[in-house]
């Protein structure tokens, strides 16, 4: 209960100070909503600008950014209506989407240099980081089906990611050298062996295969309750990479399924082929896209736009499924399994669907990532990744689409760039490091700290702090927050699964 007292105390001090200056809480609350919002947003933007200047990363473009922020946040866009249609509620998603689509044009490739930097965190993320962020957003949204909607703790989500990546490895590379199949793949020289399916087809296949795996894993295990389910999924998540690692000589038969620790590489890139390229103008082969003013950032940028499209599909499915009959059944199970069963919700089928749906998006994301990296390696698929994706969902807010997107973007950014930037800043400005590095085999020493070296400790701390002080996450879904604070009982009176 510390959090409430702390927050109340801060707010009390704050209002006392403002009251001395003549602005009591009552006067403030009588102001119109838009005026209040204008004051608050302007204050925060001002603080941001001051910080940017104070940390020595000032660029004049920061003022443009500030103007855009004010324009988007101050007017009451959400009340906008055309006739009786409330188009306002689409304003925020549309604005975010437009900013994301246009990202390469203001911060992609060489444009990044003109953008303001963030204090401590350094420059805005590069295009390659943006691609990875979008892929992790997709995975986190997939896990959100299981953890956020249905309330089942899945500690082995990495198994689905691995499955998707290996589907891409099998059907879009030269792994099976006794085959020679080319089904719509681009950039394949004639006579290349192996399965070469079009990546678009592979994405779909990966999703379906992974969803099937989800069902196979789910059917026997979803009878188990909460923590047992968590540990079983963890078990699957540990078995999968071991199969990947040892699958180059499966059970002594000499059959090379996964190419062992070497992984499967290279994997084909996506592309639309000649006909679409000539008639519509979509890229022929992603790997050949050059860095031009119309596509700043080159092939990273087209991957980013594609990933963004995949994220959009995922978001659409998340939102629609959440409000569907199935989604309401998931939420009912999450809130009270006994009551849901009593109301006629088929527990097993509903849970299995949540598993399969989550697995589907994990598989698609895994296959896309494998295609982007042009390879899949067993070392990528350990427990850490499951926890990494889980912490995205927890940080953002379980069950909240906006929250999960923000959590995934932030943590994926920290993983790829943020932590090393923060570490460099700390070593440069706080610690007496003088451009050195910690001694070999250590993460702290010589006055330096290797922040990415303790990355997962930081994620662990994020998990603990969020669960203790704000279990509903940064951007909570209203319903989940209520549950977590009022303490819905998920303890069964008796076991209903029999």
Partner 1 sequence: MATEVTAHAPVRPRRPIVSYVMPVTAAVLLVLLVTWLAINFEKSPSYFFTIFFIGLTVGAVYALVALGYTLVYGILELINFAHGDVFMLGGLFSATMIVSVFGLSTGASTGALIGAIFGSLAVAMVACGVLNVAVERVAYRPLRNAPRLAPLITAIGMSFILENVAIIWKGPGYTAVPDVLPRGHVFSFSGVTYTWEKLIVVLITVPVLVALLWLVQRTKQGKAMRATAQDRDAAAMMGINVNRTISFTFLIAGALAGAAGLVYALYFGQIRYDTGFRLGLIAFTSAVLGGIGNLPGAVLGALCIGFIQAFNEGLSWHSPGSDWTESIVFSILILILVFRPEGLLGERTPEGG
Contact footprint for partner 1 (CB under 8 A):
151, 153, 155, 220-221, 223-228, 230-232, 234-236, 238-239, 242-243, 245-246, 383, 387, 390-391, 394, 441-444, 453-454, 456-464, 467-468, 471, 483-484, 487-488, 490-492, 494-495, 497-498
Cβ closest to partner 1, residue 74 vs residue 443:
443
Cβ closest to partner 1, residue 114 vs residue 457:
457
Q: How far is the CB of 18 from partner 1 (least distance, A)?
A: 32
* Residue pair 129/102 in contact by the 8 Å Cβ criterion: no
Count CA atoms closer than 13 A to 197's CA, side-chain side: 15
* Long-range contacts of 347-350, Cβ-Cβ distance < 8 Å, separation of 24 or more: 347/496, 347/497, 348/219, 348/222, 348/223, 348/497, 350/150, 350/326
CA distance 203 to 314: 13
Q: How far is the CB of 267 from partner 1 (least distance, A)?
A: 25
* Residue pair 175/201 in contact by the 8 Å Cβ criterion: no
Cβ closest to partner 1, residue 376 vs residue 391:
391
The tokens describing 304, both together, are 């980013």
Q: What are phi and psi of 184, to 5 degrees?
A: 75, 10
Cβ closest to partner 1, residue 206 vs residue 217:
217
Beta strands 194-197; 180-183: pairing state: parallel
CB burial class (10 A; 0-12, 13-18, 19+) of residue 349?
exposed
- Per this entry, what is the length of the chain? 498
Q: How far is the CB of 402 from partner 1 (least distance, A)?
A: 21
Q: How far is the CB of 37 from partner 1 (least distance, A)?
A: 34
Q: Which residues pair with 445 in a beta bridge?
A: 448
Q: How far is the CB of 475 from partner 1 (least distance, A)?
A: 18
SS3 at position 106: helix
Cβ closest to partner 1, residue 434 vs residue 497:
497
Count CA atoms closer than 13 A to 411's CA, side-chain side: 31
Q: How far is the CB of 347 from partner 1 (least distance, A)?
A: 11
CA distance 312 to 319: 10
Q: How far is the CB of 256 from partner 1 (least distance, A)?
A: 15
Q: How far is the CB of 343 from partner 1 (least distance, A)?
A: 20
The tokens describing 122, both together, are 């350094």
DSSP 397-409: -TT-HHHHHHHHH
CB burial class (10 A; 0-12, 13-18, 19+) of residue 285?
buried
Dihedral sign (CA 71, 76, 81, 82): negative
Q: How far is the CB of 418 from partner 1 (least distance, A)?
A: 17
Cβ closest to partner 1, residue 72 vs residue 422:
422
Cβ closest to partner 1, residue 154 vs residue 300:
154
- Beta strands (DSSP E) in 52-99 are none
Q: How far is the CB of 393 from partner 1 (least distance, A)?
A: 10
Cβ closest to partner 1, residue 425 vs residue 456:
456
Cβ closest to partner 1, residue 310 vs residue 390:
390
Cβ closest to partner 1, residue 95 vs residue 444:
444
CB burial class (10 A; 0-12, 13-18, 19+) of residue 120?
middle
């Amino acid at each position: 209960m510390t959090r409430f007292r702390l927050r109340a105390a801060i707010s009390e001090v704050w209002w006392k100070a403002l009251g001395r200056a003549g602005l009591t809480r009552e006067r403030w609350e009588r102001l119109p909503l838009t005026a209040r919002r204008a004051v608050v947003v302007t204050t925060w933007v001002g603080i941001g600008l001051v910080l940017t200047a104070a940390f020595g990363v000032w660029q004049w473009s920061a003022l443009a950014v500030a103007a855009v922020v004010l324009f988007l946040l101050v007017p009451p866009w959400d009340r906008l209506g055309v006739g009786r249609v409330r188009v306002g509620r689409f304003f925020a998603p549309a604005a975010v989407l437009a900013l994301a689509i246009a990202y390469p044009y203001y911060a992609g490739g060489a444009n990044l240099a003109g953008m303001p930097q963030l204090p401590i965190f350094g420059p805005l993320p590069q295009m390659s980081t943006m691609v990875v962020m979008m892929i992790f957003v997709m995975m986190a949204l997939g896990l959100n089906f299981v953890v956020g909607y249905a309330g089942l703790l899945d500690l082995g989500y990495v198994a689905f990611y691995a499955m998707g990546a290996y589907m891409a490895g099998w059907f879009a590379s030269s792994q099976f050298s006794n085959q020679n199949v080319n089904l719509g793949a681009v950039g394949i020289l004639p006579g290349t062996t192996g399965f070469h399916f079009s990546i678009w087809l592979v994405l779909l296949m990966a999703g379906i295969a992974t969803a099937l795996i989800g069902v196979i894993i789910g059917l026997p295990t979803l009878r188990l309750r909460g923590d047992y389910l968590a540990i079983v999924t963890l078990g699957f998540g540990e078995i999968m990479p071991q199969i990947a690692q040892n699958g180059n000589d499966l059970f002594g038969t000499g059959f090379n399924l996964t190419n062992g620790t070497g992984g499967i590489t290279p994997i084909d890139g996506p592309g639309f082929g000649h006909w679409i390229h000539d008639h519509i103008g979509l890229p022929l082969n992603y790997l050949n896209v050059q860095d031009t003013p119309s596509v700043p950032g080159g092939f990273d940028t087209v991957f980013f736009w594609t990933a963004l499209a995949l994220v959009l599909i995922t978001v659409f499915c998340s939102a629609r499924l959440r409000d569907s009959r199935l989604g309401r059944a998931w939420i009912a199970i999450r809130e009270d399994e006994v009551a849901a069963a009593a109301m006629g919700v088929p527990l097993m089928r509903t849970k299995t669907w949540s598993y399969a749906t989550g697995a589907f998006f994990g598989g698609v994301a895994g296959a896309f990532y494998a295609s982007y990296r042009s390879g899949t390696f067993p070392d990528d698929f350990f427990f850490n990744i499951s926890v990494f994706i889980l912490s995205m969902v927890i940080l953002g807010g379980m069950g909240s689409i906006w929250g999960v997107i923000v959590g995934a973007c932030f943590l994926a950014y920290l993983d790829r760039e943020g932590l090393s930037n923060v570490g460099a800043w700390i070593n440069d400005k706080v610690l007496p490091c003088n451009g050195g590095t910690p001694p070999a085999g250590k993460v702290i020493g010589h006055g330096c700290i290797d922040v990415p070296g303790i990355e997962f400790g930081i994620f662990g701390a994020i998990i603990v702090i969020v669960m203790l002080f704000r279990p509903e996450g940064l951007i909570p879904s209203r319903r989940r927050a209520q549950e977590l604070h009022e303490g819905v009982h998920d303890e069964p009176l008796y076991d209903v699964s029999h």
